[in-house]
Amino acid sequence: MSRSLGHTVADRPPDQFPLARRLLLLSVLCLAQFLDSFNMSTVFAAMPVLERSLRITTSQSVWIVSAYQLTFASTLLVSGRISDVYNPSKSKFVFIGGVSTLGLISLGAGFVNSKIVLIVLRALSGIASAMSIPSALTLLVNIFPDPVEQARAIGIFGGCGAVADVLGFLVGAMFVQWASYRWAFWLVGIVAVPAGLVCMFIMPRNTTTVENHDRSVAKWRVLDIVGVSILTAAIILFIFAVTSGPTQGWSSPVVLVSFCISILLTAAFFYWEALLPTERAAIPPCTWHYKNFPVLMGLALLPFLWWTVVFTIFMNLWQDIFRWSAISAAVHMLPVGVVAFATGFSGGLARVISPKWITLLGLFMLAVATSALALAGGEVNQYWPFVFPAFLIGSAGAMLTFTHTNLSIFQTVPASMSGTVGAMFNGALQLGSAVGLSAVTSIESAVEAKHGGATGYRGRAAAFWFLLGVIVIEMISVSCFYHRPPQMPKDLIVGTSTSEKIDGILRDVEANE
């Protein structure tokens, strides 16, 4: 039977697949989020041994992590734009390419004996991961268009990242103690490469005709390469400045110049976007006019910041001051990941409770937990009365904030912008983590220098009090400026996609030519 007379099961729209296949697709998409976080946390656990093996100084080892963050955050918008401009069936190629490339690079990184080569490979890993996350969100939104199912799917997607953070610490510590730090890289490759191969068979089939292929090539003309390039350079320079500040000094010319140029480039980007038609802009100016969108983007800066600060402070405290083994420290972190994953299933609450009140509850729980951690003190016996309950309450609060901010963003804007919005959301998560961690590190170092060194808890307590201040500001912002959005018109949810709009524009251009 010809294609025009019928469709096979593989040709169906993803949302019409049997439930079992959609759940399998969800598992594969969540794997991208898992690998992204796992790839970061295993390196943290292996860093002390890696420094000794490759003769890397502490200031140089920062770039093994920062190189990944830089390229990941700066490439997200490119990936998100591609996912929106091209139809969802083509997003699978971006996803498969990202996951497979991450696996191959990670396998190679495990054999490297040069610090320069390792840093370069980590930077390339960030690009590969960035290509998979927005495309995964685009596919997820199309596979689960029902708001209830979509809420659950997005919650699970985020929860996998939190679990991977903790498991990465634990697995990385096991490799360091019982095998080799190189397995921290090899394991990612062993999982990612077969996953990429499996995706080629289970992802929705591409049914694009030759005519559509030609038009897809023409779509490069509306990808806003100039705007994306400007913003990418701005993000790279900004993250470089905030990650270099604690080590090189905030008054360093390199830090100040990078920071100033990044601000100028950001201003230039928004000016450029204002000159373009909406369909051609990487981030259309109208995006910021959607109700609650600015508040939600502000909230996106917080969850990863809280988790990163907790991981960094306590892993260093337990290993450097208490002399715990890496495995023992990672086991004591397990409550954070377990509670985060369990709370990831809370997306269905949005059906009965306004996301505003759920988000405020999450922020309140974060405030309580952060206060407890600031008051905990640096004693071993403070884990069960202070730290353990704070981990439970705070991780649940961070996950509530993450899940319902994520859901609200996708419900605020049209589904045709899911790739771009997903990229912006994940970029904000990374940006908040990088900027906040730099601020916290500087505060901690300054207080410790004033009060007798890193063996005390005053610097760490000051970092948590600063974090509490950020949480209170977010609570005030949500209370005053977050409003329940009106029901979005149905045509914006399931109607014309960005790809279809651009097809129409290109047809008009071809007709005029």
- What DSSP designation does 5 have? T
Band of pLDDT at residue 12, cut at 50, 70 and 90:
low
- 240: its two tokens: 């470089």
Check if the beta carbon of residue 432 is closer than 8 Å to that of residue 300: yes
- How many residues belong to the chain? 513
Terminal alpha carbon distance of the chain: 37
Task: Determine the Cα–Cα distance for residues 433 and 311; give it in Å rounded to an integer.
Answer: 12
pLDDT tens-digit readout, 260-296: 999 999 999 989 888 887 767 778 777 888 889 999 9
> Residue 6 pLDDT > 50, yes or no?
no
> In terms of pLDDT, which residue wins out, 207 or 485?
485
At 425 the pLDDT is 87
Share of the chain above pLDDT 90, in %: 24
What pLDDT band is residue 53 in, cutting at 50, 70 and 90? confident
**Does residue 226 register a pLDDT over 90?**
no
Of 425, 61, 115, which Cα lies nearest the Cα of 243? 61
Does residue 501 carry a pLDDT above 60? Answer: no
Percent of the chain residues topping a pLDDT of 70: 83
For the chain, the average pLDDT equals 80
Structure tokens at 388: 């353990």
The pTM is what?
A: 0.81
Instruction: Write the single-letter amino acid at 467.
Output: L
Which pLDDT band, with edges at 50, 70 and 90, does 320 fall under?
A: confident
* Choice among 88-97, 160-169, 219-228, 255-264 with the minimum mean pLDDT: 219-228
> Which of the two residues, 450 and 356, has the higher pLDDT score?
356
Q: Where are the alpha helices (DSSP H) in 86-146?
A: 88-109, 115-143
Q: 79 with 223: CB under 8 angstroms?
A: no
Distance of CA 280 to the CA centre of its chain: 25
pLDDT of residue 498: 46
339 pLDDT higher than 70? yes
pLDDT band at 88 (very low <50, low <70, confident <90, very high): low
Instruction: Give yes or no for a contact between 366 and 398, defined as CB atoms under 8 angstroms apart.
Output: yes
- The reported pLDDT for the residue numbered 213 is 43
Q: Quickly tell me which residue has 């260093």 as its tokens.
A: 316
Residue of 369 and 328 predicted with greater confidence: 369
The stretches of 179-252 forming alpha helices (DSSP H) are 183-202, 210-218, 225-248
Mean pLDDT of the region 103-115: 93
- pLDDT surpassing 90 at residue 109: yes
| Greater model confidence, 91 or 380 | 380
Residue 509 pLDDT level (bands cut at 50, 70, 90): very low
Q: Look at residue 497 in the predicted model and tell me its pLDDT.
A: 45
Closest CA to 3 of 206, 216, 203: 206
Given a cut of 90, whether residue 496 has pLDDT beyond it is no
Distance from C-alpha of 344 to C-alpha of 313, rounded to nearest angstrom:
24
- Which band of pLDDT confidence, cut at 50, 70 and 90, is reported for residue 452? low
- Given pLDDT bands bounded at 50, 70 and 90, which one contains residue 502? very low
Query: So what's the pLDDT on residue 363?
Result: 97
Q: In 3-state terms, what secondary structure has residue 7?
A: coil
Q: Supply the pLDDT for residue 13.
A: 57
Q: Which of 174-183, 291-300, 348-357 has the highest mean pLDDT?
A: 291-300
Contacts of 496 (CB under 8 A, 6+ apart): 416
Lowest pLDDT segment from 7-11, 28-32, 446-450: 7-11
Question: Once rounded to an integer, what is the mean pLDDT over residues 65-74?
Answer: 81
Distance CA 132, CA 267 (A): 28
Question: What is the per-residue pLDDT for 480?
Answer: 93
pLDDT band, residue 453 (cuts 50/70/90): low
Band of the pLDDT at 467, cuts 50, 70, 90?
Answer: very high
Q: Which residue has the higher pLDDT, 210 or 482?
A: 482
Scan for tokens 């840093």, then name that residue.
119
Q: Report the pLDDT value the prediction gives residue 384, as an integer from 0 to 100.
A: 92
